[in-house]
Chain A
Amino acid sequence: MQTVLNLLEVEPIRLLISFGAVLFLVLNLAAILTMAERKVSGYIHLRYGPNRVGPRGLLQPAADVFKLFTKENVSPGRSDLWVFLGAPIAMFIPAALVWLVVPFAPDAVVADLNVAILFFVAITSIGALGVVMAGYGSRSAFSLLGALRGAAQMISYEVPLILSLLGVVMLTGSLSLVDVVQAQGDTIWTWYFLPQLPMFITFYISGIAEVKRVPFDLPEGESEIVGGFMIEYSGMTWALIQAAEFASMAVISAITVTLFLGGWQPPLPFLDLGPFNWVWFGIKTALIMFTFQWIRWSVPRLRMDQLMDLGWKVLVPMTLIWLFVTAGLMLLFPSLGA
């Protein structure tokens, strides 16, 4: 037993095992989130949602996954096969990779990089590549439009997303996510979402845009371009795209919690659970994801030009102004900085 625990201390083995655990979590997360999505939508729609498969319908995602496993995998006759089949993988890998730097608890992080925020920014922006590959590979007017929309949207919203991170980086003075969480302290009013409120809102909105959910789901646009870039995918490739979407949604929630809502820190000092502080992280992430779903079922979709207006004319100026305000305040009161 002791040897096994010692083995965990050895760096490459620890990394591999913890990465395996994270991958397992991510893959299951997609299933759990589809179920949550259907249940939440059910309650918003005044209906039950799945309740026949297993207790209270909890085995529904299992049925969906096994069905998709055995579904025929169609690729259109004129598609660019390698690009077509590579796209879901190119979408899934970045979504899963970002989990490497998410700190679940003080010691529970796969890789505590000192450039974790840069890593997050770099990896998420690869996701747009997968969308473009899917749209191009499918050879369909609908998916091409979806891919163009997706690329434009994800690249545009990358800018406010990164700019809104900078306030936190300035306050912390570090690019490590563990440092960011530790700098926020264990009381709810010292978390960064209060001093950085405009940045928090910007990050939240551009986060929704980054993961392509309503009201920013233009690349999919079910009632316009019938699923957009994923219109031609079936079976497992489609499931992989869905898994990537849900994983990236979860990762954006997790990063929001880490940067602005104090990560694993309890809201008040006496609620400190010690080694079980990851429960706080889980609760906060779930809450953010619930708000994503709440928005999903409540508002209509924007149009492309309005989306660009919002991104470039509202969010970017707002973050830039607040960046200068933060910098000025830090110059005036040096105690603010870490």
Chain B
Amino acid sequence: MTKTFQPGDPIWCAGCGHYGVRNALQAAFQQLDVESHQTMVLAGIGCAGTLQNNVNAYGFHAMHGRVLPAATGVKLANPSLDVIAVGGDGDGYAIGCGHLVHSFKRNTGVVYILMNNGIYGLTKGQNSPTAETAEQAFDGVQLGLSIAGSSFIARGSSAAPTQLQKLMVAAIEHSRAGRGFAFLEVLSPCVTYNDTYPKWAGRMVDVDTITGYDPYSRTGAFTTVHDLNAENRFATGLIYQQDSIGSERQWLDSGQAAVCDLDIDPALQMSDFREIMDDYGV
């Protein structure tokens, strides 16, 4: 075997929720027999945004807030890859918020795992958009539900590893099935600057435990999430899904090849090139 990079040890503080996310992801990879070379893990910037260094896959470190457009570019160019984007709540809900909205709308088959700790960890503890402060806390799940194109919205917690692994598997499968963008928010406490383990404990409600809950109903999901928030609780689990067709799959379904597989030798396209030139001929 060719020797290539060996995933490094996480740089996280002992007890950081992000360990749980990495563990669940690795377990999901194992459960799904994900092949390391067919997987690309892209990360934003932040403590959360170092996870790619600690898993065995192709890894990429994007600029702060830009992990989703980069992941979208990867997936559109090579739809056969499992493309996993990860990042923190600052990365995804603050600087990257516009891209998140448009990723929901565009519905390209990227799996996006957002580690929500209500804080900017790596820059030492400033409020993130989900911080419970004077301003109303932001709920990414509700945001996702408001975008007509969204097709998979889930929330887990690093304090609930079994559920988390299940949701990761579901997210990867959603993307693999060509249904599009899979969004998984993980409540992942920052023990150093905002230890929410105690604060969040007992406030999570798995939607699977709600009788009659229908993850295919957008307005139902919105109401449930909203009403739980109003009671200071969080909906978790697979909150919403839709059997849509992801944008990269639409491309393939229309009979077009993945661009990464094209033979780009100009000699093969000469006659087409000449036809274009004819359009300009004078």
- Do these two chains interact? no
